[in-house]
Structure 1
C-alpha cells in the first residue's frame, strides 16, 4: 500500500519550464502554504489580543503584527513554490504570468494592498485615531487591512473605507500626535445684552463641564463676539476639551450648548427673537415738532449718556498673543494629563 502511495505521489501533473509538478509535490506545497497561513493567522490574532489589552502605545506592535503576518504568508507561498520543485527560471515564468493576470483584472486589489502598506509605514494614521473624511464621515480607526481600513463611528456602525481613499483624498486626523483640539461652539444673545455678563456666565459654565481642560498660557477658554444676526449678537465659545471628548464631537457640542443655555437662563440673559422696528414719519400730514403738537406731546429730554465700562476682548488677546513653539505645546498637553 505504501508503494502505491509513492507511485501516486510521483504521477506528473504538468510541466513548467524544466520542472515537472507531481501529485506529491503539489500536495506538499499546498500543505506547507496552508501551514504558514494558519501560523500567520494565529500569531496575528495573538498580537491583536495583546494590543487590545495594552490600549496605549500599540503603534509599533501593530506594525510588527502586520509585517509578521504578511511576511509569513509570502514566505509560505515561496516555500510552497520551492516544494513544487520549481527553479528560478520557472518562478520567473510563473511571475510573468501572474503579472499579466494582475494587470488584466487584479490591479484594484494590488492598489489597495499597496495603499494599506503605505498607511502602515507612513504613520500618519494610527489605530485608535479619530479621523474625518471629505464626505463628513467620522470615526475611530479600528484596523488597516490588506484591502480596506475599518472605521467605527460613534453610533457603533463599522465603515469599510478603501485604503486608497485615505491616501488620495484629504483626511482630517483629529487626534494625531495625541494632542487635543480647540472647539468652537456658536450661540446667540439679544442685541443690547451686556457682553461682559455674557462672557463671564458662559466661561464659568464651560469650565464646569467635566471634560474641559484647565487653562494654560497657550490654551484658554474664551468667548468671542463674531458678528451680528437678526436681532442678535453672534458669539462663539472657544474651549479646549479632553482628547476623549474630541472623539465624540456631536455629544461634546451638545454638552456645551446645554451648559451655555443653562448659564444664560440663570443669568437672565435674553435669547434673541425676531423683531421689527416701525418708524412713523408723518401723522396726518404733519412731521417732527408739528406732529408732536398735534398729539399734544412734548419731545422727551434724554439724560446724558454714561460711558460703557471697559470689557475683556478675548479675540484681541488671542491675536496679540505669540504662537508657542511645538515643544511648549507638547509640555502643556503632558501637564494637563498630569492634572487629570
Structure 2
C-alpha cells in the first residue's frame, strides 16, 4: 500500500510538492515553517492558538524580497476570500434583527438587476450565501484585468451581467465570488451605509481587532507584506481588490481571534449562532495574486491555525496546503 501511495504522489503531484509531502516530519512547528521556504514560497507567517496556551507566532522567508526584509508574523496580509466569513457573520446578525430575511430575493433588494442577472426573482439571500445561485463568477471572465486595480465594484459586476446562469437556483453548488459582491451591495443598501463600517462596529470592535481593515486603501502600506506571483517578477502588493468578499486586510493574529470567536460562540448570541450555522462555513481559504491564506479551527485539539503565504501561482497553493497539513500533524503530536 505504501508503494502505491508513493507512486501516486510521484506520478500525479509536481515534484516540488512531492518533496514537501514526503520529507520527514520535523519535531517543531518552527522547523516546518523554516522548511517551507525551500519549496519556492517567498515568505510564510503562522499563528497558532491552542486553547489554554499562549498564542504562538512563527515566520520564515521574506516580507519584502527585494529589500531583504524578513517575514514578520505581525504584518498585514490581503486575506482574500476569508473576508466572506465576516460578511456572512454580519448578514446573520442583520437577519437575527429582521433587517433582512434569508428568503428575500435578489430582485427585491436590487431590482435594477432583474433582467440583467438570470433568475434574480428566484435567487434568495440564502442561496447567495451558500453559493447556490447559479450566477457566474466574475473571476472566471477572460476579460478580467489581473494586472490592474479596478476602481469601482460595478466594474466587477459588469463582467457577469447579461450572462446565462450556470444552473437553476438552488439546484447545485458552485463557488462564485459574485454572490458575495451582491451580498455586500444588499448589506450597504439595507444599512444605508457601508457594510464594512457595520462589520467594524458589530464584529471587529467588540473583539478588539484593531489590525483588520475593509480595503487596502485603509491601510498603511508599509505594514503590509509584499506579495509575489510566480509569473511576474515584482511585488504585487499595490493591486487593490476592493470587491466585497475578498477585499479585507488583516494580521494573522486578528484573523485567528475572529475565527476563535466564530467557532466558540462568543461572536453571536444563540439565535445568531443558529442562523449562521444554517448559512455558511466556520473556516475558509483565500487566494489573490501574491497571497495565499488558510484559516481553520481544529476541534479535536481545540486549536485555531492561521497560515499566510505571500506567494501565489505555480505550485505554491499545493505546497501551502501540504505545509499547513504537516503543521497540524506536528500540533497533534504535542
TM-score (normalised: structure 1):
0.21
TM-score (normalised: structure 2):
0.22
Whose helix fraction is larger, Structure 1's or Structure 2's? 1
Structure exhibiting the larger radius of gyration computed from Cα positions: 1
Higher relative contact order (CA 8 A, sep 6+): 2
